[in-house]
Amino acid sequence: MNTTSCQDISFTFPKKFLPPVFILVFIVGLVANGWGLKSLLHNWKKLGNVNVFILNLGLADILYLLTLPFLVVYYLKGNVWIFGDVFCKVTRFCFNLNLYCSIGFLTCISVYRYLAIVHPMRVMGRITVSHTVIISAMVWILVSVQSLPDMFFPKSSSNMTGECFDTTSNEYVEDYLKYSFSWTIIGFGIPSLITLGCYGHVITVLFCKDNINQVLKQRSLKLLIILILLYSICYIPYYTLKNLNLWSRILSKHKICHQWADGVYIAHRISRGLVCLNSALNPLVYLHVNEEISAQLRQLLQRFRQAATQLYTNNQFHNMTIL
């Protein structure tokens, strides 16, 4: 530990790493969510009440995806925000809204499927579309209230460098860590335990009974794997490293320096890129719920393989002709 001077942080790393990630997520996310929502609306009556949660999950993703081009410009310009302080806060608000709404609606989907599979007789006919709409509205309201305090933290530095912080300036970093840590527990920790608990119980019930449809077992297991991937890649690293990086900033502010500070900052920026992948990975939930989308994807992949094979064959024939 060093208490005199701190080593330089690699602030140039996000400028190189984040723009390509954001561009990729923007393209893949818009295509995947657009396709998924189109199929969802086309098969609305077939899917049941859970489609309300999936629709809202897709809308939350698209809301955030539309802010990514502005962030790409921000990082390409060397962390210079040219769209005004208000829109900076709106952009960061949309990020939090997407993040917590995604977790909220994934939790709703998990609880709904848990009740439908483990307690079908108790809930049959009792959960209506009106109930799912009300619950969805409550998720939006609660997440908005939860994310609103973030907008009251300064998002630009006092030296007028044109930055747009995803947290806040060093002056208020102690208060922001308290806010961040509390909502990590409430907005991420508790819903995560509920989600994993529901699917853990569902898998246990399905595989302990021999009279359960094998397709249902496989689909439930696939969704559990999807959720584990989402949480392992997107959510857990981000929340862990975000709070650790805030703590590192507090230590640095008080001239208490550690060699791992730069590594934590870089890892946090990587996790910042990975967490936005949730907007591109969430449509995997559509694949799980809607078999027609899965069939369409399989057909698309089969056509792609056939086209690739045909192209390879033609190239081989062309090369042999030249020889």
CATH number at residue 269: 1.20.1070.10
Instruction: Report angle CA 288, 290, 296 to the nearest 5 degrees.
Output: 100
In a domain? residue 309: no
Mean pLDDT of the 23-28 span: 94
Full residue range of the structural domain in which residue 139 is found: 13-292
In a domain? residue 316: no
Q: What is the DSSP letter of 8?
A: P
In this model, does residue 144 exceed pLDDT 90? yes
In a domain? residue 321: no
Amino acid 286: pLDDT:
67
In a domain? residue 130: yes
**Highest averaged pLDDT of the listed ranges 42-56, 147-161, 231-245:** 231-245
Q: Note whether 293 and 31 are within 8 A (CB).
A: no
Of 240, 107, 121, the residue nearest 185 (C-alpha): 240
Per-residue pLDDT band for 99 (boundaries 50, 70, 90) equals: very high
Amino acid 21: pLDDT:
94
In the numeric block, the tokens 């210079």 are attached to: 80
In this model, does residue 2 exceed pLDDT 80? no
| Residue of 143 and 226 predicted with greater confidence | 143
In a domain? residue 2: no
* HEC sequence for 78-119: CCCCCCCHHHHHHHHHHHHHHHHHHHHHHHHHHHHHHHHHHC
Amino acid 303: pLDDT:
61
In a domain? residue 18: yes
| Residue of 5 and 145 predicted with greater confidence | 145
Mean pLDDT of the 13-36 span: 90
What are the Cα distances from residue 246, in Å, to 18, 124, 281? 19, 47, 27
Per-residue pLDDT band for 34 (boundaries 50, 70, 90) equals: confident
Name the domain count of the chain.
1
Percent of the chain with pLDDT over 90: 39
In this model, does residue 221 exceed pLDDT 80? no
The 10s digit of each residue's pLDDT in 39-55 is 777 777 665 678 889 88
Amino acid 112: pLDDT:
86
**Mean of the per-residue pLDDT values of the chain:** 82
Per-residue pLDDT band for 256 (boundaries 50, 70, 90) equals: confident
Amino acid 37: pLDDT:
83
Report the range of poorest mean pLDDT among 231-240, 274-283, 288-297.
288-297
In a domain? residue 49: yes
What are the Cα distances from residue 276, in Å, to 61, 71, 294, 307? 9, 12, 23, 31
Structure tokens at 259: 């060699």
Per-residue pLDDT band for 203 (boundaries 50, 70, 90) equals: confident
Mean pLDDT of the 76-100 span: 91
In a domain? residue 152: yes
In this model, does residue 1 exceed pLDDT 50? no
In this model, does residue 3 exceed pLDDT 80? no
CA distance 80 to 71: 10
